[in-house]
């Protein structure tokens, strides 16, 4: 039987519970996921030598990591060829591309250092998102950046973030779509601090200074990402959840929730509805924490599906800016990226194929037995047939067939990077 024939049967089955598979696929086709550039080279970038610091870590040394902008761009193209739809590319400031022999420190970055990325995005009809990079740099002193008591340190990072706003605005102008710019700082203490207030007060003031430069708020959506701890910063994190939500609410910027940044039994899926009641727009980093903020590859698992459901059933595909954030160096990086992208897309499709109105109605009527019954039965509906047809009709490989291309790419390209 062909993929289409399987699909036609699935379509009927979904129609019997009021789900329009055509509409679901159409919506999915126009839903951009912000794909992080940093899975391709273990968050290294092109502006420094030396390790990844800032309380985050990549583990593994699988061969074939991208070493140059050209290699990273080629890898991104490979991944995109295996994922349906048009997406956004999420860059970090340490991915600036300099002319031969040129070097510009992060506080002096200009739009021109990202012109090649704009060209890349334009050619592919993609938008760009952006992130200042406040880690892996010698101006991170004692694990502190925007909350540092040293004004030289703080001012350096303030200038960096202001430069990033200008670069983000350039992206938005050039590409005709808003740029989501997310600020994450690693700042914190390994052990119990003597003063929790002062670093947070300085962080607040730094952010106010950053946001004080003129920029078009319809073009640059500044976000602030919270965290609960980092490696080597286990006891205190300056940019905690409370700090971030309150700051974002009071300054009219977006809070960003990374689902690796909470206590292990806390789930972001449960937070989305509350946030949507108080913010016009929010942002997410979709990742997979295994016991800690481990940034494993996103799977088609319960929590990722639940996150997607919250976005879809609250009609919030436009209000939630979602991007991926993981970095696994222990397996083929192209495969890791592709699995993560395809899986988040699958989760969105799963959510779009859920009879959300019907389930909500049952809940309103107190028919909770039926809510459970139907939610469980839905799990074995022929979701795979719709997913396969979505891939086929979008011109990307169906099921595991994309992996042959990864193997070929590994032999022909990745294994030559030595
Ligand atoms: C770190 C944050 C942050 C980074 C990226 C590379 O804990 O999740 O988003 O992963 O900026
Ligand atoms: Zn994150």
Is residue 412 exposed (0-12), middle (13-18) or buried (19+ Cβ within 10 Å)? Answer: exposed
Catalytic choice (227, 271, 296, 346): 227
Q: What are the pLDDT digits (tens) for 3-44?
A: 999 999 999 999 999 999 999 999 999 999 999 999 999 999
The residue behind tokens 């390994």 is 190
Query: Is 225 in the active site?
Result: yes
Distance of alpha carbon 375 from alpha carbon 181, whole angstroms: 36
Note if 295 is an active site residue: yes
Nearest to 238 by CA among 290, 281, 275, 185: 185
Task: Let me know if 402 is a catalytic residue.
Answer: no
d(CA 223, CA 131): 9
- In sign, the C-alpha dihedral spanning 150, 154, 159, 160 is positive
DSSP label of 288: B
Which DSSP letter does residue 283 get?
E
Residues 179, 42: Cα–Cα separation, whole Å: 23
Residue 149 CA to its chain's centroid (Å): 31
CA 130 to ligand 2 centroid distance, Å? 12
This prediction has a pTM of: 0.98
Closest alpha carbon to 122 in 181, 170, 63, 156: 170
pLDDT in tens, 239-294: 999 999 999 999 999 999 999 999 999 999 999 999 999 999 999 999 999 999 99
**How do residues 111-120 score in pLDDT, each as one tens digit?**
999 999 999 9
Could you give the 3-state DSSP secondary structure of residue 332?
coil
Label the pairing between strands 220-225 and 236-237.
Answer: unpaired
Q: Counting every residue, how long is the chain?
A: 418
Q: Report pLDDT digits (tens) over 151-175.
A: 999 999 999 999 999 999 999 999 9
Ligand 1: lining residues by beta carbon, under 6 Å: 38, 43, 56, 131, 184, 225, 227, 258, 285, 293, 325
If you count DSSP H runs as helices and E runs as strands, how many of each does the chain have, helices first?
Answer: 14, 10
Q: What's the gap in Å between 284 CA and the centre of ligand 2?
A: 8
pLDDT (tens digit, 9 = 90+) per residue, 343-398? 999 999 999 999 999 999 999 999 999 999 999 999 999 999 999 999 999 999 99
State how far the Cα of 310 lies from the Cα of 347, in Å rounded to an integer.
Answer: 11
């Amino acid at each position: 039987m062909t993929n289409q024939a399987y699909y036609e049967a699935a379509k009927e089955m979904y129609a019997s519970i009021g789900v329009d598979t055509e509409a679901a696929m159409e919506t999915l086709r126009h839903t951009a996921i912000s794909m992080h550039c940093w899975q391709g080279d273990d968050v290294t970038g092109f502006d420094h030598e030396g390790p990844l610091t800032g309380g985050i870590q990549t583990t593994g040394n699988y061969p074939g990591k991208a070493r140059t902008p050209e290699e990273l761009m080629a890898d991104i193209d490979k991944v995109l060829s295996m994922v349906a739809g048009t997406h956004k590319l999420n860059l970090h400031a340490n991915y600036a591309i300099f002319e031969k022999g040129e070097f510009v420190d992060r506080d002096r970055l200009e739009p021109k250092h990202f012109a090649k990325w704009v060209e890349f995005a334009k050619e592919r009809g993609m938008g760009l998102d952006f992130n200042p990079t406040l880690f892996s740099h010698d101006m991170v002193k004692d694990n502190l950046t925007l909350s540092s008591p040293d004004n030289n340190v703080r001012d350096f990072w303030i200038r960096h973030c202001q430069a990033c706003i200008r670069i983000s605005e350039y992206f938005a102008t050039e590409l005709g779509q808003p740029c989501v710019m997310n600020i994450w700082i690693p700042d914190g203490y390994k052990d119990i601090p003597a003063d929790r207030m002062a670093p947070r007060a300085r962080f607040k003031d730094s952010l106010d200074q950053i946001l004080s430069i003129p920029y078009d708020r319809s073009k640059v959506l500044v976000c602030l990402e919270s965290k609960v701890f980092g490696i080597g910063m286990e006891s205190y994190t300056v940019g905690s959840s409370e700090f971030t939500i309150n700051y974002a609410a009071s300054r009219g910027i977006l809070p960003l929730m990374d689902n690796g940044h909470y206590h292990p039994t806390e789930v972001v899926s449960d937070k989305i509805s509350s946030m949507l009641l108080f913010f016009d727009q929010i942002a997410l980093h979709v990742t997979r924490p295994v016991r800690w903020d481990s940034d494993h590859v996103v799977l088609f698992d319960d929590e990722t599906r639940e996150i997607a459901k919250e976005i879809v059933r609250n009609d919030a595909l436009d209000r939630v800016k979602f991007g991926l954030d993981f970095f696994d160096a222990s397996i083929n990086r192209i495969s890791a990226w592709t699995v993560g992208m395809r899986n988040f897309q699958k989760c969105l499709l799963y959510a779009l194929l859920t009879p959300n109105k019907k389930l909500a109605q049952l809940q309103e009527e107190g028919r909770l037995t039926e809510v459970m019954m139907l939610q469980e039965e839905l799990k074995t509906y022929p979701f795979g047939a719709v997913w396969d047809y979505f891939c086929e009709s979008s011109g990307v490989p169906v099921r595991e067939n994309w992996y042959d291309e990864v193997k070929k790419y590994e032999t022909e390209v990745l294994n030559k990077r030595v």
